Structures are given as structure tokens and as C-alpha cells.
């Protein structure tokens, strides 16, 4: 059977190895496995959300309110916007897909050389050409140059950037967008913004200020990271009403589950848990920085809940390290497929990080 030619060169996304797979492949006891590969919140689901969900599983047979009325109202209130500025996605991932679908089908997108893989995957799925900057990290001069040269329909800025962890300053981002024409959609992916703005207020992007200043910008947020609901698949886009109205045309009905909706609504009411998670994250991150220094390799200063350890100019090979750690039940992300001799490690809980350091040390000695 023949299929759309657009898809011939599309490869599927490679997700972080789930614990089930490691149990299966290596016969390691599930309780012994430490997964630091998918940037999940190591402090687990907030106690409030757990309580509410347990009482709500009875509703799983019913479709959710497809208007997502309550969640949109709460997000609008949180960001001082109206619900007409909000679209809900199955993770902010799905909002990325919506953006490419409505704006860049068979056209062009511009991204950093090393950034969130889904920009490129969705772009290819929709037949768009992917233009990349030369530098791995976000370099706005290069972005501007490529913008003038290629006239992309969408520019993706990942702030902070996954999988490297670096983050541009807000003032530089605003200056950059001011130079972009109003028919180019600028996507500001803030999946890890809660972490970045905690660490350094110069990184903080206020969605209202962003979209009030630039009607061609959209801000993406997620419940998967600081809000600890990675498994529930809830994200959102915040933008001018005209953009949101168009994104809704490609949104499938009931695109988040009944329990996802309830969990996101509840999580928004538990800022205490979110703040605790973020504070702990940076306390534990310090230990990774010290560990790297002690063992003679570099790292990228991170504004997220993960850290990228660089093995260039060392005796270490990221593929060997990733494979050996996996055999010992520690799952991290090898960045070799990005052309880097580096690994990305989610900052886990104290116990999880202890385990990482311990296994890593036995490996390199």
C-alpha cells in the first residue's frame, strides 16, 4: 500500500527506557531500578492530587468536559489572561503538533541544533523542512541570521532548553522576537520555566507580557515536570485569541483524560508541593556539579530538573557509560544520537542520586 510521501524519511521518537523494559531485558528487580531518564519529578505525585484521584477513579467511564472549562479558567487566572487565550494539549507536546499543523505544514521551521526532539519529528511528519542553527545551544545571533536567510514559518525557542539545560535571558528573547515579522509564529516552550525562573529571575518569561507584546508568540507550559504529572499528559498553550481559535480547529475532542483533567486542576492548587520540588531539585543538583568536578568532567549550567554531563576531552564514552549504568539498573539518557559525548541525568531524589553516584563511581574506577 502507498502512503503519504512526506512520511518516507520520518523516524519515530525514542522515549527514555521505561522501568518495565529494564526489568524485562535485564531481569533486575523493579525496586532496584532508578530511572533518571525522562525528567519526571522524583518527589512523585503531590499528596493532594493522589487523594483526589483515588476518590475520582469511579469517573473513568465518563468523557471529560471537552471544553476544559474549569482548567482553562484556573490557568487564565494564574497567568492573568482569559480562557480564550488557552488551549489544552495532551502534554505541551500536542500543542507543538497543533502549531506545526496549522502554520508550518509543508513549510519551514527553525530550531536550535540540539533541542527538544519533537519539534523536528512533528515538523517532518507534517512535511516541513527543519532549519537548524550551527551551535548546539540557543544562539540568537545565529537564529536571526537563519531567520533572514530562510524565512521560517515557525521559530522554536526552548527556554530552558531540553536536553542541554541552558536558558536565554528574557530581555534577549524579547529583543530577538521584536525583530521577527508578525506572520512568523514564535513558540516559547516553557516546559521547565518553573525551574529556570526559580534559579534566576532574569530567565523568567511572563506569558501575559510575552503575548501582549508579541501577538505572534505562543507560550507553552506543562504539568509533566514541576507539577509531577508526566504520566497524565496535560500541557497548554497561551497566545492571542486568534492563534488559539485556529489551534482548536486541529485539537481532537477529549484530548486529555477525565483523570488527567482532575489531576491538573488539583495540582494547580498545590503550589507548596511544586515549590518544595523545585527547591530540592537545586539542592540535589549541586551534588552533581560537585561530582562532575571531582571526577574531571564538565557539565552545562542547568536551569531545569536535569543536568547534562559532558565527556569531551575525557576517557569516558557516553554510550559505554549509559549501557553499563543500565545493566546496573540506573537509567539515564545517552546524548550520542545528538552527536554529543554526553549524558543527560534527571536530578532525582537524594536516595536516587546517591545510587547514581555510587554506580557511576564503581564504573569509572
Residues numbered 211 to 270 that lie near a second copy (CB under 8 A) are 215-216, 224, 228-233, 242-243, 246, 248-260, 263
Number of residues that bind a second copy (CB under 8 A): 81
Residues in CB range of 31: below 8 A, 6 or more apart: none
Among 24, 150, 179, 327, interactor with a second copy by CB under 8 A: 24
Is residue 40 within the footprint of a second copy (CB under 8 A)? yes
Is residue 50 within the footprint of a second copy (CB under 8 A)? yes
Question: Minimum Å distance from CB 263 to a second copy?
Answer: 6
Q: Tell me what percent of the chain is helix, strand and coil, each rounded to the nearest 5.
A: 50, 15, 35
Among 21, 202, 283, 320, interactor with a second copy by CB under 8 A: 21
Give me the helix-helix angle, 318-327 and 350-364, nearest 10°: 120
Among 7, 283, 294, 320, interactor with a second copy by CB under 8 A: 7
Q: Which of the stretches 75-83, 182-190, 313-321, 329-337 binds a second copy when contact is defined by CB under 8 A? A: 182-190
By beta-carbon proximity to a second copy, the closer residue of 81 and 186 is 186
Contact pattern for a second copy over residues 97 through 126, marking x by CB under 8 A: x---xxx-x------------x---x--x-
Rounded to an integer, what distance in angstroms lies between the CA atom of residue 82 and that of residue 79?
9
Cis peptide preceding 163, ω within 30 of 0: yes
Rounded to an integer, what distance in angstroms lies between the CA atom of residue 153 and that of residue 147?
9
- Residues 91/69, Cβ–Cβ less than 8 Å: no
By beta-carbon proximity to a second copy, the closer residue of 52 and 322 is 52
Residue with cell 468523557: 63
Question: Minimum Å distance from CB 240 to a second copy?
Answer: 8
Residues 142-171 that bind a second copy (CB under 8 A): none
Among 33, 34, 36, 45, interactor with a second copy by CB under 8 A: 45
Is residue 27 within the footprint of a second copy (CB under 8 A)? no
Q: Which of the stretches 58-66, 134-142, 304-312, 344-352 binds a second copy when contact is defined by CB under 8 A? A: 58-66
Among 36, 49, 110, 177, interactor with a second copy by CB under 8 A: 49
Can you name the residues that pair with 131 across neighbouring β-strands? Answer: 110
Rounded to an integer, what distance in angstroms lies between the CA atom of residue 1 and that of residue 331?
39
Is residue 12 within the footprint of a second copy (CB under 8 A)? yes
Among 63, 82, 175, 339, interactor with a second copy by CB under 8 A: 63
- Residues 128/108, Cβ–Cβ less than 8 Å: yes
Phi first, then psi, for residue 234 (nearest 5°) are: -135, 125
State how beta strands 129-132 and 108-111 pair: parallel
- Residues 301/166, Cβ–Cβ less than 8 Å: yes
How close are the terminal C-alpha atoms of the chain, in Å? 54
Residues 270-329 that bind a second copy (CB under 8 A): none
Is residue 178 within the footprint of a second copy (CB under 8 A)? no
By beta-carbon proximity to a second copy, the closer residue of 53 and 137 is 53
CA distances from 15 to 116, 193, 277, 323 (A): 12, 22, 24, 16
Question: Minimum Å distance from CB 121 to a second copy?
Answer: 9
Listed residue (78, 15, 39, 37) closest to 226, CA to CA:
39
Is residue 172 within the footprint of a second copy (CB under 8 A)? no
Residues in CB range of 117: below 8 A, 6 or more apart: 13, 14
Is residue 29 within the footprint of a second copy (CB under 8 A)? no
Can you say whether the dihedral through the CA atoms of 236, 240, 244, 246 is positive or negative?
negative
Question: Minimum Å distance from CB 55 to a second copy?
Answer: 9
Residues 64-103 that bind a second copy (CB under 8 A): 64-67, 69-70, 90-91, 93-94, 97, 101-103
Amino acid at each position: 500500500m502507498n502512503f503519504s510521501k512526506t512520511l518516507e524519511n520520518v523516524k519515530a521518537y525514542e522515549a527514555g527506557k521505561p522501568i518495565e523494559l529494564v526489568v524485562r531485558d535485564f531481569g533486575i528487580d523493579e525496586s532496584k531500578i532508578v530511572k533518571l531518564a525522562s525528567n519526571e519529578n522524583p518527589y512523585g505525585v503531590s499528596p493532594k492530587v493522589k487523594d483526589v484521584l483515588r476518590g475520582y477513579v469511579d469517573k473513568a467511564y465518563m468523557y471529560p468536559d471537552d471544553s476544559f472549562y474549569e482548567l482553562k479558567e484556573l490557568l487564565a487566572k494564574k497567568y492573568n489572561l482569559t480562557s480564550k487565550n488557552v488551549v489544552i494539549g495532551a502534554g505541551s507536546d500536542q500543542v507543538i503538533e497543533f502549531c506545526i499543523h496549522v502554520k508550518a505544514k509543508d513549510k519551514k521551521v527553525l530550531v536550535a541544533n540540539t533541542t527538544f526532539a519533537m519539534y523536528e519529528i512533528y515538523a517532518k511528519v507534517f512535511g516541513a523542512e527543519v532549519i537548524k542553527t550551527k551551535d548546539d545551544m540557543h544562539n540568537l545571533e545565529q537564529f536571526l541570521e537563519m531567520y533572514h536567510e530562510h524565512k521560517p514559518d515557525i521559530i522554536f525557542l526552548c527556554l530552558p532548553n531540553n536536553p542541554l539545560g541552558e536558558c536565554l535571558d528574557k530581555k534577549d528573547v524579547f529583543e530577538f522576537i521584536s525583530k521577527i515579522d508578525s506572520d512568523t509564529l514564535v513558540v516559547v516552550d516553557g516546559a521547565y520555566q518553573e525551574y529556570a525562573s526559580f534559579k534566576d529571575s532574569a530567565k523568567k518569561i511572563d506569558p501575559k507580557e510575552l503575548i501582549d507584546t508579541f501577538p505572534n508568540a505562543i507560550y507553552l507550559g506543562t504539568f509533566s515536570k514541576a507539577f509531577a504529572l508526566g504520566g497524565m499528559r496535560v500541557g497548554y498553550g497561551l497566545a492571542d485569541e486568534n492563534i488559539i481559535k485556529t489551534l482548536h480547529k486541529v485539537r481532537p475532542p477529549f484530548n486529555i483524560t477525565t483523570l488527567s483533567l482532575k489531576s491538573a486542576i488539583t495540582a494547580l492548587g498545590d503550589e507548596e508541593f511544586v515549590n518544595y520540588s523545585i527547591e530540592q531539585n537545586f539542592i540535589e543538583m549541586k551534588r552533581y556539579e560537585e561530582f562532575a568536578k571531582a571526577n574531571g568532567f564538565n557539565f552545562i549550567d542547568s536551569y531545569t530538573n536535569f543536568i547534562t554531563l559532558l565527556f569531551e576531552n575525557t576517557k569516558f564514552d557516553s554510550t559505554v557509560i549509559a549501557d553499563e549504568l543500565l545493566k546496573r539498573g540506573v537509567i539515564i539518557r545517552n546524548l550520542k544520537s545528538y552527536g554529543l559525548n554526553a549524558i543527560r541525568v534527571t536530578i532525582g531524589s537524594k536516595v536516587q542520586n546517591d545510587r547514581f553516584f555510587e554506580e557511576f563511581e564503581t564504573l569509572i574506577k
